[in-house]
Structure 1
């Protein structure tokens, strides 16, 4: 009779042990999945932030280059207009002086 009780306890212990092993396995799998998901999310967020920063830097550089080119064009146009105005004024003065002298 004692052997039968021991076998029942042994069988019960085996069932509990297998149940605990299954629970531990499920917990480990869940923890691993959560860690992998968190790592993937962090990597995706870092990649998105890096891409956004690179795009912003490229846009800023392009805007600065366009602004510098526009500024250079404006300065060149102003200088050309000033030179043309000076030449026209000098030519007009020269024509007036020559016509007065003649």
Structure 2
């Protein structure tokens, strides 16, 4: 029984890591579509990678300590937060770039 529980936790941790990787890809695609300057893209990607690593570490800790349902909620909340922040930042940077060109 304990082995089954551990297996579920490991699978949940791997799923969280995969979700985090997907978030990075989505954010990079968003940034490219928004056509933000290269420097901003690099900064955003670095920030996103750091956030994702932190999220994965937190999720793994949560998986070991608490039930899997909580993990799903944490990953969903973290993912939504990161995407919203990047979209907002991308919009701000695009506005700045637009002003500079005109």
TM normalised by structure 2 equals 0.35
Structure number having the greater helix percentage: 1
TM normalised by structure 1 equals 0.35
